[in-house]
Copies of this chain bind each other. A is one copy, B any other.
Amino acid sequence: MTYCLGIITRFGLVMAADSRTNAGVDYISTYQKLFDFSYPGDRAIIMCTSGNLSMTQAVMTLIRKDLKAQDEANIHSLPNMYEIARYIGGKIRQMQEQDRAWLQKDNIDFKCSILLGGQIRGEEPGLYLIYSQGNFIQATPETPFLQIGETKYGKPILDRTLNFETPLDACAKCALLSIDSTMKSNISVGPPISMVMYETDSLAIRHKLQLRLGDPYLAKIRNWWEESLRSAFDGMPKIEWEQCLESSLENVVID
């Protein structure tokens, strides 16, 4: 399927995505899903995409077209992140109007979701999840992360370890482990993994990472993590089983 996530804290943002796309188990490909539209010194803008690939690629194409045309409304000219989220939602709606009916006819899933994260000079950083329908929600200090795609496998570690005060490097490790858990348990999510880390008010992306299949760092963190899980396991308090009185054959135990 896809798995992308964004984390926002007091210190900045982390965004990460996998790259596996499939049209069934007999057609697996690799496509980039994390896009950097930053304009350093003025704004940092990162987008992650999931869902119908033709939809998301078309939305990206429309966005780039407006940028090239230096149209009045493009993601480098819009005054704040809210407007950018509305603008992207509008592009999704435009594509839905063109293509939805044709896809529905053949029961093809036309839905897509986009994560938008970044900061414009003069504003606080923001993180948004834009839906297929063009509307969106925003991450908040109470809910400092958003996920799209195959979200369930990687959610427990985020719930257990993240909050608005978590340092950025810890968020980055957390994001990697969240994606790694998902890749291990679901074959439709796969490398390369793309990740960026953004520091509040830097107005530029200074930390990028791409981990390909077989990357030694990916193997290193997976092994480290599994080793740590095993020792945490061994050190865990013994289970306090209840006393069980064993019944005889005559005294059948039925619940």
Contacts and interface: CB of A to CB of B under 8 A. Distances in A.
Contact of A64 (B38, B221, B254): B254
Given A39-B249, A206-B246, A244-B207, A237 B224 contact: yes
B36 A253 contact: yes
Contact of A241 (B76, B208, B225, B234): B208
A36 B255 contact: yes
A45 to B, nearest CB: 10
A235 B224 CA distance: 9
Contacts of A152: 150, 152-153, 185-186
A217 B240 contact: yes
A159 interface: yes
Interface in A162-193: 169-170, 172-174, 176, 181-182, 184-186
A243 to B, nearest CB: 9
B252 A76 contact: yes
Chain A at the B interface: mostly helix, strand, loop or mixed?
Answer: mixed
A160 interface: yes
B217 A237 contact: yes
Contact of A197 (B157, B176, B228, B241): B241
Contact of A239 (B37, B169, B233): B169
A43 B209 CA distance: 55
Of listed A36, A157, A221, residue having the most chain B CB within 10 A: A157
Interface string A27-53: 000001001111111100000000000
Contacts of A228: 228, 231-232, 235-236
A67 interface: yes
A209 B233 CA distance: 19
A241 B159 contact: no
A246 B36 CA distance: 13
B237 A221 contact: yes
Interface of A: 32, 35-42, 64, 67, 76, 150, 152-157, 159-161, 169-170, 172-174, 176, 181-182, 184-186, 197, 204-210, 217, 220-221, 224-226, 228-242, 244, 246-249, 252-255
